[in-house]
C-alpha cells in the first residue's frame, strides 16, 4: 500500500510504500515528548517530496546516529533516518503523520529506549 504523509503545515511531504505490520512506541527522552508512533521501512520505500532531506532542520542526540527531521514552521517530526544494525538504510515514519491510518488497528510494541 502507498501512504501519503507530512507535517501539519505541509512544508514536509512524503510517500511511503509498504504494509504496516506493527508500530513501535519508544519511551526515550525525545520520543516520549514528541509522541511519535514509529513504523520502520527501508529507505528505498520512502520518497521525500519536499524539501530535500539535507535542507530539513535535523536534531541528533545521544549517539547522534539517528537524524530526527522536523519542520521549522509547525514543529512536527514526521520521520527520522538511520541505519539498521546490519547497515541497511532505514526510515522511521511517525505514523501519526500519515493520512488515513487507523492507529487502533495495529499492534503497538513498547520499546524501552530510555534504558538502552
pLDDT in tens, 61-104: 988 999 999 999 999 999 999 999 999 999 999 999 999 999 99
Residues 6+ apart with CB under 8 A from 56: 12, 69, 70, 71
Span 17-49, pLDDT tens digits = 999 998 999 999 999 999 889 999 999 999 999
The backbone torsions φ and ψ at residue 46, rounded to the nearest 5 degrees and listed phi first, read: -115, 130
Neighbouring-strand partners of residue 40 = 92
Query: What pTM, to 2 d.p., does this model score?
Result: 0.92
What topology does CATH give the domain 2-115? 2.170.150
pLDDT of 53 above 80 = no
Amino acid at each position: 500500500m502507498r501512504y501519503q504523509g507530512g507535517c501539519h503545515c505541509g512544508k514536509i511531504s512524503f510517500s511511503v510504500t509498504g504494509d504496516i505490520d506493527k508500530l513501535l512506541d519508544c519511551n526515550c527522552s525525545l520520543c516520549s515528548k514528541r509522541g511519535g508512533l514509529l513504523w520502520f521501512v527501508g529507505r528505498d520505500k520512502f520518497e521525500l517530496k519536499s524539501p530535500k532531506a539535507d535542507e530539513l532542520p535535523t536534531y541528533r542526540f545521544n549517539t547522534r546516529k539517528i537524524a530526527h527531521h522536523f519542520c521549522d514552521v509547525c514543529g512536527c517530526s514526521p520521520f527520522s533516518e538511520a541505519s539498521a544494525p546490519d547497515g541497511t538504510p532505514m526510515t522511521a515514519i511517525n505514523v501519526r503523520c500519515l493520512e488515513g491510518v487507523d492507529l487502533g488497528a495495529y499492534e503497538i510494541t513498547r520499546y524501552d529506549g530510555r534504558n538502552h
